Amino acid sequence: MAAHSCRSALSGAGADGRSEMPDVWVRRDYSLVGDQGKLAVEQGLANAKWYASAIPRERLKGLMKRSDGPAIRDTIIWVAAFVVTGGAGYLLWGSWWAVPAFLAYGVLYGSSTDSRWHECGHGTAFKTRWMNEVVYQIACFMVLREPAVWRWSHTRHHTDTIIVGRDPEVVAPRPPILRDIFLMFFGIKQAQSYISKVTLHSIGKLTADEETFIPQSERAKVYWVACVHILIYVAFIGWAISLRSILPLMYVGLPALYGAWHYVVTALMQHLGLAEDVLDHRLNARTVYLNPISRFIYWNMNYHVEHHMFPMVPYHALPALHEELKGDLPKPYNGIIETYREIIPTLLRQLRDPNYFVRRELPPTARPFKPASQASMAAAE
């Protein structure tokens, strides 16, 4: 897992799938309405064909098979955990014993919901469509996401993963703003973004970036749901005021702040510090081995290279997919600590040298990425 000094943007691609860039860093526009997005389209990086590891068709079809069983089982456990931790917090309210109860409740509310909206948004968690939709809508609200907005935002993320000027879900631009990353662990940046956008949507407007990926037919839904979200929060705030207690907000609202840390820890591992503007998920995403508790909270999204290659494979089949593909993928990271031993120094280095990124090493058994399959890249060479 060697680090490499990347050179800049969108002027062609090398044999390893990276863009060949000038030595001098030019600050890049990560918005979706700037010149960088236009350049991505011109260079063939937008809506492009991505590398996919070879896997027998019948085996892939078997792994993609959807089932209600695993998600129903996990959702029953999930809801039961809410009842136990939330009930304990209520019974112990007023004593210090309530703190660990609400800390556990907060992680369920503010972190495990992130993976639930994600998988149900893909429509793969359950076989039954309405089950996916119910969990998706509830989980989006809990983790401060607007369902219609994030459905289309995440579609674009998968289409143009970490393509600058195209991907609306780039966590940290280069050079990184460490203050913003730090505030994410407490849900503050997410809450600031959510409040500003839900307020804007409630009066029938979108941001300039959202205009680029939310279809006209979906916009009325965005505006209506924003109003519903605001009404729910107003109701809980009013309830707390009437009781002269923050207890109602310890169940709805505040857990998205004090319980966000686990989902931020895992989400930052997905792409942070890796290559931009490549068409190979082996080079811009990480697979990390996690403990069983974190995997339950994260719903196996630690197999992130595999998920991006084959996003229609349900979360419960990702470990099996990993076994099928691992000979063609970079070595997985062995846990959170090992991953952050790479991420933290990379971010610090990028403060001084934004060209710097971690270049994933492919094993000898892996097929090399061949950008010549992209006409525009072949021309650039």
* % the chain with pLDDT above 90: 89
Read off the pLDDT band of 54 (50, 70, 90). very high
Q: What is the mean pLDDT of residues 273-296?
A: 96
Whether the pLDDT of residue 32 is over 70: the answer is yes
In the three-class reduction of DSSP (H, G, I as helix; E, B as strand; rest coil), residue 32 is classed as coil
* Segment 73-132, tens digit of pLDDT: 999 999 999 999 999 999 999 999 999 999 999 999 999 999 999 999 999 999 999 999
pLDDT at 59 over 50: yes
pLDDT digits (tens, 9 = 90+) for 137-172: 999 999 999 999 999 999 999 999 999 999 999 999
Model pTM?
0.88
pLDDT at 95: 95
Two structure tokens written together for 58: 């019948």
pLDDT class for 362, splitting at 50, 70, 90?
very high
* Residue 290 in this model has a pLDDT that exceeds 50: yes
C-alpha dihedral sign at 313, 363, 4, 290: positive
As a whole number of angstroms, the distance between CA 259 and CA 99 comes to 12
Helix axes 129-142, 147-159, angle to 10 degrees: 100
Express as a percent the part of the chain with pLDDT over 70. Answer: 90
Burial (CB count <10 Å: 0-12, 13-18, 19+), residue 306 = buried
> What local confidence, expressed as pLDDT, does residue 375 receive?
36
- Facing residues of 358 across strands? 3
Q: Is residue 12 predicted with pLDDT exceeding 90?
A: no
Peptide bond into 168 cis (omega under 30): no
381 pLDDT higher than 60: no
Q: What is the pLDDT of residue 135?
A: 97
pLDDT at 11 over 80: no
Q: What is the pLDDT of residues 35-50, one digit of tens each?
A: 999 999 999 999 999 9
CA 377 from chain centre, in angstroms, equals 28
**160: closest CA among 48, 13, 271, 28?**
48
Q: How confident is the model at residue 371 (pLDDT cuts 50, 70, 90)?
A: low
pLDDT of res. 318: 97
Per-residue confidence (pLDDT) for residue 303, from 0 to 100? 98
Q: Give the Å distances, CA to CA, from 196 to 29, 233, 365.
A: 21, 14, 48
Lowest mean pLDDT among 8-22, 292-306, 315-329: 8-22
| Mean pLDDT score, 238-251 | 97
Q: How far apart are CA 99 and CA 300, in angstroms?
A: 28
- Banded pLDDT at 217 (limits 50, 70, 90): very high
The residue-averaged pLDDT of 189-218 equals 96
User: CB under 8 Å to 99, separation ≥6 — which residues?
Assistant: none
| pLDDT on residue 10 | 38
Query: In this structure, are residues 222 and 146 in contact, taking their beta carbons and an 8 Å threshold?
Result: yes
